[in-house]
Amino acid sequence: MRRLLVASIAALGLAGAFAHSGGNDNLIRRRKTLGFGPVHPHAVYHAEPAYSSSSFVGANSDPYEVAQRFVEEITRDSSPASSFVIRKDSYTDKSTGVTHIYVRQYMHGIEVADGDINLNVKDGVVLSYGDSFYRGAEQDPFIPALARGLPDVHTEHCVSLFNELETRAIQIEELVTNEELYSTQGDQVALGRSDPSAIADEVYGDLPYLFDWNCAHVQTPFVMSYHPAFSGQEDSFGDPTRALLQFMIAATPNEKLAQKLQVNPSEYLDKMQSTWETHFVGGHGTISATVDNVPDAVSPVKAKAAFVQVPNGDSTSLELVWKFEVEMEDNWYEAAVSAALPHRIVSVVDWASDSPMPVAPIPPTEHKPGLYKVFAWGVNDPTVGNRSDEKENFDRAASPAGWHSLPYANDPLMLATRVKSGPKGETFRNTTTTWGNNVFAHENWDGRNDWMYNYRPDAGKEMVFDYPYDPQVTDRTDALDEAKKHINATVTQLFYTANLIHDLYYRYGFDEVSGNFQQHNFGRGGEENDAVITNAQDGSGYNNANFMTPPDGQNGRCRMYLWNTAMPYRDGDMEAGIVIHEYSHGLSTRLTGGPANSGCLGWGESGGMGEGWGDFLATTIRSTKKYSDYAMGAWAANRPTGIRNYMYSLNTTINPSTYKTLDKPGYWGVHAIGEVWAELLWVVSQRLISKYGFVDTLFPPEPLENGTIPEGDFYRPAEFTEAGVRKPLIPKHGNSLIVQLVINAMKLQPCRPSFFDARDAIISADQILTGGENHCDLWVAFAERGLGPDASVEGRTPWGGGVRTNDFDVPTKCKSSQ
Ligand X SMILES: *[C@@H]1O[C@H](CO)[C@@H](O)[C@H](O)[C@H]1NC(C)=O
**3-state class (DSSP) for residue 560:** strand
Number of residues binding to ligand X, judged by CB under 6 A: 23
Nearest-10 crossing angle of helices 604-622, 734-748:
160
Query: 674: closest CA among 662, 686, 664, 683?
Result: 662
Output the smallest distance, CB 97 to ligand X, in A: 17
Output the smallest distance, CB 499 to ligand X, in A: 18
Annotated binding site for Zn(2+): 354, 581, 585, 611
Output the smallest distance, CB 476 to ligand X, in A: 20
Nearer to ligand X, 475 or 705 (CB): 705
Span from 9-17, 378-386, 566-574, 760-768 in contact with ligand X (CB under 6 A): 378-386
Binding residues for ligand X restricted to 651-680, rule: CB under 6 A: 651, 653-654
Alpha-carbon distances, residue 527 vs 298, 402, 520, 553, 579 (angstroms): 23, 19, 9, 5, 24
Nearer to ligand X, 102 or 445 (CB): 445
Q: How many CB atoms lie within 10 A of CB 18?
A: 20
Output the smallest distance, CB 514 to ligand X, in A: 23
Annotated binding site: 354, 581, 585, 611
What is the x/- site pattern for ligand X, positions 277-316, by CB under 6 A? ----------------------------------------
What is the x/- site pattern for ligand X, positions 382-411, by CB under 6 A? -xxxx-------------------------
User: Which residues contact residue 599 at a Cβ distance below 8 angstroms, ignoring those fewer than 6 apart?
Assistant: 113, 114, 334, 347, 349, 593, 751
Output the smallest distance, CB 719 to ligand X, in A: 15
Binding residues for ligand X restricted to 451-470, rule: CB under 6 A: 457-458, 467
Catalytic residue among 582, 605, 675, 679: 582
Among 192, 221, 422, 656, binds ligand X (CB under 6 A): 422
Q: Is 702 marked active-site?
A: no
Binding residues for ligand X restricted to 563-592, rule: CB under 6 A: none
Query: 594: closest CA among 126, 107, 88?
Result: 88
Question: Per rule CB under 6 A, is residue 812 in the interface with ligand X?
Answer: no
Among 485, 639, 727, 796, binds ligand X (CB under 6 A): 485
Output the smallest distance, CB 562 to ligand X, in A: 15
Span from 248-256, 365-373, 604-612, 728-736 in contact with ligand X (CB under 6 A): 365-373
Span from 38-46, 559-567, 702-710, 808-816 in contact with ligand X (CB under 6 A): 702-710
Question: Per rule CB under 6 A, is residue 225 in the interface with ligand X?
Answer: no
From the number of C-beta atoms within 10 Å of its C-beta (0-12, 13-18, 19+), residue 689 rates as buried
Question: Per rule CB under 6 A, is residue 430 in the interface with ligand X?
Answer: yes
d(Cα 112, Cα 643) in Å, to the nearest integer?
A: 39
Question: Per rule CB under 6 A, is residue 721 in the interface with ligand X?
Answer: no
Query: 545: closest CA among 533, 553, 555, 537?
Result: 537
Query: 405: closest CA among 433, 437, 362?
Result: 437
Beta strands in 78-143 (DSSP E): 82-86, 91-92, 99-107, 110-122, 125-131
Using alpha carbons only, give the angle 231, 237, 240 rounded to the nearest 5 degrees: 135
Provide the phi-psi class of 802: left if phi over 0, else alpha when psi is between -120 and 50, else beta.
Answer: left
Alpha-carbon distances, residue 102 vs 593, 638, 656, 747 (angstroms): 7, 44, 37, 11
Output the smallest distance, CB 653 to ligand X, in A: 4
Nearer to ligand X, 94 or 135 (CB): 94
Q: Which residues face 315 on adjacent strands?
A: 312
Among 69, 168, 343, 367, binds ligand X (CB under 6 A): 367
Binding residues for ligand X restricted to 73-132, rule: CB under 6 A: none
Question: Per rule CB under 6 A, is residue 708 in the interface with ligand X?
Answer: yes
Residue nearest to ligand X (CB): 422
Q: Which residues face 326 on adjacent strands?
A: 333
**3-state class (DSSP) for residue 739:** helix
Question: Per rule CB under 6 A, is residue 487 in the interface with ligand X?
Answer: yes
Q: Cα 648 to chain center, whole Å?
A: 21
Span from 38-46, 172-180, 423-431, 434-442 in contact with ligand X (CB under 6 A): 423-431
With beta carbons less than 8 A apart as the criterion, state whether 278 and 240 touch. no
Alpha-carbon distances, residue 10 vs 208, 303, 519 (angstroms): 11, 35, 48
Residues with active-site annotation: 582
Binding residues vs ligand X (CB under 6 A):
366-368, 383-386, 422, 426, 429-430, 457-458, 467, 485, 487-488, 651, 653-654, 704, 706, 708
